[in-house]
């Protein structure tokens, strides 16, 4: 006889916690009183509510959003994250504005998470088609959250569910209405690190073959030295809790990925290391002339120096040779974390 007793509902797959974490860091940065160094993503704060903070567990950013902003602005882990997001958001926002001015008519946000550009740039994008692409659990979660927290969806926004590791991105975008003969601007922010090598390659090859020349992709990424460096830390590169199941596994070969992007059909342009002085000057200096977070980073540096002095009587063991070699290679490469706008070659 059939079992007619009520069956337990399977737990829905949780959204990507890293997508909530980065939005939380933008939300924190958007509370900065000095407008010149405020994160421009003012909608992030509306998307990160109590349920999202619960998903972040005991991450310092979850607490920071419930704390007084000035007080939380003294915590290095919070400010460090907000620093990274401020720079990343501004760099990519600028690239988006430039791409539209230069004739892109389609914008595809890959691994969109809680990206709000379709909403923040409605006026700029009013004559464009916009596509948000993400894995189903995160996209479904985000759409429910947006329906609660933001006004109506922009008419030109299309949602496309794709797992980069399993699905055919090209087919999915074409089916959703992407036109291969129109100039397209792709945003791939905070995603490559989480994907297997072959998946990053396949995705970039798809974008190159799907798009007319001079279409471009703005993205951030680490090099393989950055992934190696993570192996010397307890939580690995990326530093997210292992229970989130989102380790950083991919780094581009070479110093800044130029050859890698070239091989896959792109003009790599001039990749720029995330803390390049020109970027810091352009995006991170407050109206008092002080760089965002400088006071906290200086305090943390001084505390580390004092600790090292204290331990001088019994010096700590020197770093393993492999770590010393890796540090040298990172200095020679110019850093581990990069931003680039790469362009489809004719």
Q: Please report, as ranges, the residues that interact with ligand SAM according to CB under 6 A.
A: 16, 18-19, 22-23, 111-115, 134-135, 138, 162-165, 189-191, 194-195
CA–CA distance, 133 with 296 (Å, rounded to integer): 36
CA–CA distance, 21 with 16 (Å, rounded to integer): 9
Contact 291, 80 (CB under 8 A): no
Minimum CB separation of residue 315 from ligand SAM in Å reads: 39
Distance of CA 113 to the CA centre of its chain: 9
Closer residue to ligand SAM, CB minimum distance, 18 or 30: 18
Secondary structure element (H or E) that encloses residue 87, with its range? helix 76-101
Minimum CB separation of residue 310 from ligand SAM in Å reads: 37
Minimum CB separation of residue 317 from ligand SAM in Å reads: 35
Task: Residue 13: count other Cβ atoms within 10 Å of its Cβ.
Answer: 12
Minimum CB separation of residue 89 from ligand SAM in Å reads: 8
Closest to 249 measured CA to CA, from 200, 180, 298: 200
CA–CA distance, 82 with 28 (Å, rounded to integer): 7
Contact 226, 327 (CB under 8 A): no
Closer residue to ligand SAM, CB minimum distance, 21 or 104: 21
- Residue 242 DSSP label: G
Closer residue to ligand SAM, CB minimum distance, 29 or 190: 190
Closer residue to ligand SAM, CB minimum distance, 162 or 255: 162
Contact 337, 255 (CB under 8 A): no
CA–CA distance, 95 with 101 (Å, rounded to integer): 10
Closer residue to ligand SAM, CB minimum distance, 194 or 292: 194
Closer residue to ligand SAM, CB minimum distance, 130 or 162: 162
Minimum CB separation of residue 51 from ligand SAM in Å reads: 17
Contact 280, 341 (CB under 8 A): no
Minimum CB separation of residue 41 from ligand SAM in Å reads: 9
Closer residue to ligand SAM, CB minimum distance, 106 or 203: 203
Cβ contacts of residue 84 below 8 Å, gap of 6+? Answer: 25, 274
Closer residue to ligand SAM, CB minimum distance, 131 or 255: 131
Closest to 119 measured CA to CA, from 212, 177, 41: 41
CA–CA distance, 72 with 128 (Å, rounded to integer): 39
Minimum CB separation of residue 333 from ligand SAM in Å reads: 23
Minimum CB separation of residue 246 from ligand SAM in Å reads: 7
């Amino acid at each position: 006889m059939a079992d007619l007793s009520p069956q337990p509902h399977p737990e829905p797959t949780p959204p990507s916690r890293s997508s909530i974490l980065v939005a939380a860091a933008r939300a924190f940065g958007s509370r900065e009183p000095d407008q010149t160094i405020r994160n421009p993503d003012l909608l992030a704060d509306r998307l990160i509510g109590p349920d999202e903070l619960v998903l972040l567990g005991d991450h310092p950013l979850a607490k920071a959003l419930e704390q007084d902003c000035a007080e939380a602005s003294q915590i290095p882990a919070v400010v460090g994250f907000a620093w990274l997001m401020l720079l990343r958001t501004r760099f990519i926002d600028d690239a988006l504005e430039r791409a539209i001015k230069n004739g892109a008519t389609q914008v595809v946000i890959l691994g969109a998470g809680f990206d709000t550009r379709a909403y923040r740039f409605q006026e700029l994008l009013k004559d464009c088609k916009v596509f948000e692409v993400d894995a189903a659990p995160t996209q479904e979660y985000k759409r429910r959250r947006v329906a609660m927290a933001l006004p109506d969806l922009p008419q030109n926004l299309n949602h496309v569910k794709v797992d980069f590791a399993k699905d055919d991105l090209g087919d999915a975008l074409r089916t959703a209405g992407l036109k291969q003969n129109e100039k397209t601007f792709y945003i791939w922010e905070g995603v490559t690190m989480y994907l297997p090598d072959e998946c990053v390659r396949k995705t970039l090859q798809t974008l190159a073959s799907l798009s007319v020349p001079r279409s471009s992709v703005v993205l951030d990424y680490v090099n393989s030295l950055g992934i190696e460096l993570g192996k010397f830390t307890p939580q690995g590169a990326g530093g997210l809790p292992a229970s989130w199941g989102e380790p950083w596994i991919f780094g581009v070969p070479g110093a800044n990925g130029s050859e890698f992007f070239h091989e896959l059909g792109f003009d790599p342009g001039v990749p720029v290391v995330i803390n390049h002085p020109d970027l810091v000057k352009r995006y991170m200096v407050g109206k008092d002339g002080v760089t965002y977070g400088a006071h906290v980073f200086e305090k943390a540096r001084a505390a580390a120096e004092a600790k090292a002095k204290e331990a001088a009587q019994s010096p700590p063991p020197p770093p393993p040779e492999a770590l010393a070699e890796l540090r040298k290679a990172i200095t020679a490469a110019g850093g581990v974390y990069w931003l680039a706008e790469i362009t489809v070659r004719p």
